[in-house]
Copies of this chain bind each other. A is one copy, B any other.
Amino acid sequence: MQKIPVGVLGATGMVGQQYIALLANHPWFEVQYVAASPRNAGKSYQEAMAGRWQLATTWGPGVGELILQDANAVASALSAAQQGRLGFVFSALEMGKEEILCLESAYAAGGIPVISNASANRWTADVPMLIAEVNPHHAAIIPIQQKARGWKGFIVVKPNCSIQSYMTPLYALLNRGYQVRRAFVTTLQAVSGAGYPGVPSLDIIDNVVPYIGGEEEKSELEPLKILGEIRNGQIEPASAPKISAHCNRVPVVNGHTACVSLEFGDKKPSIAEVKTLWAGFTGLPQELDLPMAPKHPILLREEANRPQPRKDRDADKAMAVTVGRIRPCPIFDLRFVGLSHNTIRGAAGGGVLNAELLKVQGYLG
């Protein structure tokens, strides 16, 4: 099988680097196009990243030599696409919301599918916000989106990294008929979630910052769109669960931890049922055996003191959500701790998995 040539927009940023690293040996996709801010355009990727590459792993063969394009120059991407050097792009753009809206639309209009990490299009009603194990059926809105917009390409997005540590566990319960009415969530989030340079060390060494701008709103609302239904050409958000989120930044490099209390509807699972259900949960990516899919999307740990970010974030290609401390809640019904790798499962890895899903579903040619 010939690999699909892919591009990374925002290739020099934190998430962009993570995409480049994850795609280094991908069996289906190959990075052949990299774009970033005008400031870096014209440099080789290697040159631009000297002293700025943040990861322990490195890029695939040939990527260092790719010449960075200006991400604003959509024409350059279209020309690459026409020459068969670009099948679709991962967008890890770091710009203002309006700029991203315009730019992602321009790529999509021109015929280039955009698989985006940016938050700009998350609440666009005909743009699906995908977690491959949770709402793969939302991809069905793509042709509707294309038709309504007159686009040959399309845009799909993924949700915020902060919700990944509890969204799949929540869904696994709902999927078995256990309604979740309300959820209290407190997150302890890694600094890599803020990108680079991101959180100043003076703000976080020997410290906690109990505030991340906009994060609580995303943590409370995005699950509702993911659980929503396609109706009248739009994704209509679900009305439950109601979520209250406290979001904190802690001195951890990678891995978001979430302390969660759940209130069920009338049908309440036992602790043992929840454990069995989570440990056994699989979704479409597992069924399709997608390359980036974790074997177990939810990994159950029985030790009293797990999950922990440094020890569990890398589980199963850093794509598993690890859960532990499943126990009754004195106020609601159930408490647990969830953990996921924010720049892999919660960002680039989730994006790659979405692309794999869309490829198998036939949306990527």
Contact = CB atoms under 8 A, between A and B. Distances in A.
Interface string A248-276: 10111100010101000000000000000
Specify how many copies of this chain sit in the oligomer. Answer: 4
B210 A202 contact: no
Contacts of A196: 200, 202
Interface string A342-353: 000000000000
A219 to B, nearest CB: 11
Contacts of A303: 50-51
Interface stretch (A155-163, A185-193, A277-285): A185-193
Contact of A210 (B199, B220, B307): B307
A203 B194 CA distance: 13
Interface residues of A, number: 63
A332 B246 contact: no
A203 B201 contact: yes
Nearest to A311: B56
A329 B251 contact: no
Nearest to A199: B201
14 contacts: A51-B306, A56-B314, A184-B184, A184-B244, A186-B246, A188-B188, A198-B202, A202-B253, A205-B310, A206-B206, A206-B310, A208-B257, A250-B250, A253-B310
Interface of A: 14, 50-51, 54-56, 182, 184, 186, 188, 191-192, 196-211, 213, 220, 242-244, 246, 248, 250-253, 257, 259, 261, 303-315, 324-325, 329-332, 335, 337
